[in-house]
Amino acid sequence: MRIEDVETPAVLVDLDLVEANIRRAQSLFDQLGKGFRPDITAHKIPFLAGLQMQAGAIGIACQNILEAEGFAADFDDILLCSHLLSPRKIARARPLAEAGQLTVVADNPEVVAALSCGMAGTDLPMRVLVECDTGMGRCGVQSPEAARDLARAIAAAPGLEFGGLMTCAAPQSEARVEAFLSAAAALCLPDVGPCRVISTGGTPSLALVGLTPSITEYRAGTYIYNDRALVARGACTVDDCALTILTTVVSRPTPDRAILDAGSNSLSSEVSGLKGYGMIPAYPRATITGLGGGHGHVDLHQCPTRPRVGEKLQVIPNHAGPVSNLIAQVILHRSGAMIRPAELAARG
Amino acid sequence: MRIEDVETPAVLVDLDLVEANIRRAQSLFDQLGKGFRPDITAHKIPFLAGLQMQAGAIGIACQNILEAEGFAADFDDILLCSHLLSPRKIARARPLAEAGQLTVVADNPEVVAALSCGMAGTDLPMRVLVECDTGMGRCGVQSPEAARDLARAIAAAPGLEFGGLMTCAAPQSEARVEAFLSAAAALCLPDVGPCRVISTGGTPSLALVGLTPSITEYRAGTYIYNDRALVARGACTVDDCALTILTTVVSRPTPDRAILDAGSNSLSSEVSGLKGYGMIPAYPRATITGLGGGHGHVDLHQCPTRPRVGEKLQVIPNHAGPVSNLIAQVILHRSGAMIRPAELAARG
């Protein structure tokens, strides 16, 4: 079966490209001797996480407790990159921590206290990394001194073990990341010992990992698929984009307009500085100007050739990550030859 | 149980407000003697569609075949507002059409041919409305004459029955909608008979339905929940917004910044001219400046009082519709007293 025979809209993943994307990233970290930890939130598919591990990843990262639980059966080194506060979520994390599978993060004393409370009486402490704000302006302690102070609090908290440092790096902030993390690690050393894990990440800056020599591991998610935003940044080419939305042209109301049967229910509506809601490689001058729930509206006025009603098109989304929040499965293929559907685990 | 005890992020729906929103809209159509057809794509919850029918709706509208199938057990008048082209989708629609439950739309001869082909040999034709572009610039035939021509094609196609006209109205285009639809209906009359259904719709213009006297029915979806975009348009007030995302403040990295545990996985990333990704009624001067997959980043610098770590907040999303593409269930409550979860049907 060819992917052209798949019902639309559908999300296609080209395994040849996925494997090439995995190989390319992993070989970079292998050469540098740094650990690579793929963030499975980008795809939520255990089979793909298995490919990432087989290629040499040291473990996986994820973004919520549901994902950690969903992957715990098959993956024994999971970094949960969000702050657990609720007693019920911490109770769900506890068995994974006691099995030695789970590391979590914290950037404030309330989270440390909640984690410690949830691990009361354990013989197997939960590993906690201090999240550092190295310039992204989101989560994280604001200075190396604050990182040291929170590391102390973690080391002193019953049921917890200080594991090291973690940051979500802003693009083009490598010098700042390195300065912050190396200073924080140096401050921690006399008080709480060495940082066994120093973790940064982000697909856009993946190729610049050599500029942060202090780290022990790097996290990235979207690199496995790539997307239009990464093409725009120069982080990959259109030919590296493994995830596409297959859609049918269901109407051509005017010569300059096409209507697709994919809308914000599969393409997601993230724009973030790009023009339009995705790109159509077969018609590169077409612009997806608007999305309804189940419709995409395409402006063809700059296209020398134009699609007919019934034609199936592949669309590269602006951001691949949000697509994985919208769908139950992807169709795996190799250059258009269908292999099989793959279900997403841990769907919220 | 109070909604404050619900694990976050969660999507809350206040039934008191839902019932008030349903009553207010239905009473308008009752007064005008026009049919009202709620679009269930906005919520995808059969229980809520049941409330809409009990209030007096003539039937429901939906956007794809999965939704039509998901609601067919309990609803016997379904208008599917998208263009079916694929033989497999039409085969799924056929039993609903033959049960007299389903009406579909078309705006081009290819769709009419595909529908006719899929209904070959039937004794019970499928009702088809001609979709008209009355100014929205998306789907639809471009003139009343083109509507008449397509109506003829439908009437002549084996297995199909011409049912009337349908449009998705642009805001503030009532005069144009009325002119187009009344002209098209007049052109159709001598050729294919009266338009039994003339259907327009859209929550933003719901109160202006009186300006389109030619219609027989009106469709709206988001009115059941309302959202920040509708508040911004003046179509409702903040107090009419029935759907909120419950989220926890998991970090306060700086005095001016809060991190929520709800991101684009529950709030959706639609902005469409608004500032930020939702509003927080308890802190009206807070701005949700960015969304990660599972994080929301809030700028508090204009807030005289500020939330603490662990505090739970309700967020009104920019657009309620896309939220229903992201979630498996909502939590029904009345003014904060939890009733029960309600599952979404027909999740794509």
* A93, A104 Cβ separation under 8 angstroms: yes
User: Which residues in B lie closer than 8 A to residue A137 (C-beta atoms)?
Assistant: 257, 297
User: Which residues in B lie closer than 8 A to residue A250 (C-beta atoms)?
Assistant: 82-83, 85, 111
Q: Do A86 and B290 touch (CB under 8 A)?
A: no
Interface test mutation site (partner B, options A150, A309, A329, A344, max chain B beta carbons within 10 A): A309
- For residue B134, give how far its alpha carbon lies from the nearest alpha carbon of chain A (Å): 12
pLDDT of residue A108: 98
The tens digit of pLDDT for each residue in A315-339 reads 999 999 888 888 889 999 999 999 9
The tens digit of pLDDT for each residue in B201-225 reads 988 888 899 999 999 999 999 999 9
pLDDT of residue B124: 96
Mean pLDDT of B318-338: 91
What mean pLDDT value characterizes chain B?
A: 94
Residue B172 reports pLDDT greater than 90: no
Q: Do A82 and B251 touch (CB under 8 A)?
A: no
- For residue A31, give how far its alpha carbon lies from the nearest alpha carbon of chain B (Å): 30
Nearest residue of B to residue A39, measured between CA atoms: B293
Q: Do A293 and B321 touch (CB under 8 A)?
A: yes
Q: Do A133 and B253 touch (CB under 8 A)?
A: yes
pLDDT of residue A267: 82
Write the burial class of residue A335 (CB in 10 Å: 0-12 exposed, 13-18 middle, 19+ buried).
exposed
For residue B325, name the pLDDT band (cuts at 50, 70, 90): confident
* A160, A119 Cβ separation under 8 angstroms: yes
The tens digit of pLDDT for each residue in B9-34 reads 999 999 999 999 999 999 999 999 99
Q: A327 CB near a chain B CB, below 8 Å?
A: yes
Residue B347 reports pLDDT greater than 70: no
Q: Do A82 and B7 touch (CB under 8 A)?
A: no
Q: Do A266 and B348 touch (CB under 8 A)?
A: yes
The tens digit of pLDDT for each residue in B101-137 reads 999 999 999 999 999 999 999 999 999 999 999 999 9
pLDDT of residue B334: 97
Q: B264 CB near a chain A CB, below 8 Å?
A: yes
Task: Give the count of Cβ contacts less than 8 A between chain A and B.
Answer: 150
The tens digit of pLDDT for each residue in A286-301 reads 999 988 878 899 999 9
User: Which residues in A lie closer than 8 A to residue B83 (C-beta atoms)?
Assistant: 250-251, 259, 261
Mean pLDDT of A254-270: 88
- Whole-angstrom Cα distance, residue A207 to residue B94? 53
- For residue B139, give how far its alpha carbon lies from the nearest alpha carbon of chain A (Å): 6
- For residue A48, give how far its alpha carbon lies from the nearest alpha carbon of chain B (Å): 19
What mean pLDDT value characterizes chain A?
A: 94
Interface test mutation site (partner A, options B7, B82, B219, max chain A beta carbons within 10 A): B82
Interface test mutation site (partner A, options B134, B249, B301, B325, max chain A beta carbons within 10 A): B325
% chain B with pLDDT above 90: 86
Would you tell me which residues 52-71 of chain B have a C-beta closer than 8 angstroms to some C-beta of chain A? Answer: 63-64
Mean pLDDT of A91-107: 98
For residue B348, name the pLDDT band (cuts at 50, 70, 90): low
What are phi and psi for residue A286, nearest 5 degrees? Answer: -80, 145
Q: What is the identity of the amino acid at B161?
A: E
Q: A173 CB near a chain B CB, below 8 Å?
A: no
Residue B314 reports pLDDT greater than 70: yes
Of B108, B114, B326, the CB nearest to A326: B326
The tens digit of pLDDT for each residue in A38-55 reads 999 999 999 999 999 999
User: Which residues in A lie closer than 8 A to residue B348 (C-beta atoms)?
Assistant: 265-266, 326-328
User: Which residues in B lie closer than 8 A to residue A330 (C-beta atoms)?
Assistant: none
Residue B331 reports pLDDT greater than 70: yes
Look up residue B2 and give its two tokens.
């109070």
Q: Do A138 and B297 touch (CB under 8 A)?
A: yes
Q: A273 CB near a chain B CB, below 8 Å?
A: no
Q: Do B138 and A266 touch (CB under 8 A)?
A: no
Q: Do B309 and A111 touch (CB under 8 A)?
A: yes
Nearest residue of A to residue B324, measured between CA atoms: A265
Q: Do A322 and B264 touch (CB under 8 A)?
A: yes
- For residue A140, give how far its alpha carbon lies from the nearest alpha carbon of chain B (Å): 6
Write the burial class of residue B118 (CB in 10 Å: 0-12 exposed, 13-18 middle, 19+ buried).
buried
3-state secondary structure of B247: strand
Q: A322 CB near a chain B CB, below 8 Å?
A: yes
Interface test mutation site (partner A, options B309, B324, B327, max chain A beta carbons within 10 A): B309
Q: Do B264 and A325 touch (CB under 8 A)?
A: yes
Q: Do A269 and B322 touch (CB under 8 A)?
A: yes
pLDDT of residue A269: 72
pLDDT of residue B294: 82
Residue B296 reports pLDDT greater than 80: yes
Least confident of A11-20, B139-148, B320-329: B320-329
Mean pLDDT of A68-76: 95
- For residue B331, give how far its alpha carbon lies from the nearest alpha carbon of chain A (Å): 14
Q: B294 CB near a chain A CB, below 8 Å?
A: yes
Q: Do A86 and B7 touch (CB under 8 A)?
A: yes
Q: B167 CB near a chain A CB, below 8 Å?
A: no
Interface test mutation site (partner B, options A3, A5, A88, A265, max chain B beta carbons within 10 A): A265
Would you tell me which residues 119-158 of chain A have a C-beta closer than 8 angstroms to some C-beta of chain B? Answer: 133, 137-142
Residue A271 reports pLDDT greater than 80: no
Residue B55 reports pLDDT greater than 70: yes
Would you tell me which residues 1-20 of chain A have a C-beta closer than 8 angstroms to some C-beta of chain B? Answer: 7-8
Residue B268 reports pLDDT greater than 80: no
- Which residues, 6 or more positions from A331, have their beta carbon under 8 angstroms from its beta carbon? A3, A6, A10, A11, A12, A13, A246, A338, A340, A341, A342
Look up residue A98 and give its two tokens.
């006691």
The tens digit of pLDDT for each residue in A171-193 reads 889 999 999 999 999 999 999 99
- Which residues, 6 or more positions from B3, have their beta carbon under 8 angstroms from its beta carbon? B10, B12, B246, B331, B333, B336, B337, B338
From the list B76, B75, B97, B93, the residue with the least C-alpha distance to B84 is B93
What radius of gyration, in Å, describes the C-alpha atoms of chain B? 22
Q: B254 CB near a chain A CB, below 8 Å?
A: yes
Of A264, A271, A297, the CB nearest to B322: A264
Residue-wise over A22-38: b if at least 16 C-beta within 10 A, else e?
A: beebbebbeeeebbbbb
Mean pLDDT of A64-75: 94
- Which residues, 6 or more positions from B302, have their beta carbon under 8 angstroms from its beta carbon? B285, B286, B287
Write the burial class of residue A213 (CB in 10 Å: 0-12 exposed, 13-18 middle, 19+ buried).
exposed
Look up residue B299 and give its two tokens.
């700028």
Look up residue B214 and give its two tokens.
């030619």
Of A64, A107, A261, the CB nearest to B251: A107
Is pLDDT larger for residue B265 or for residue A43?
A43
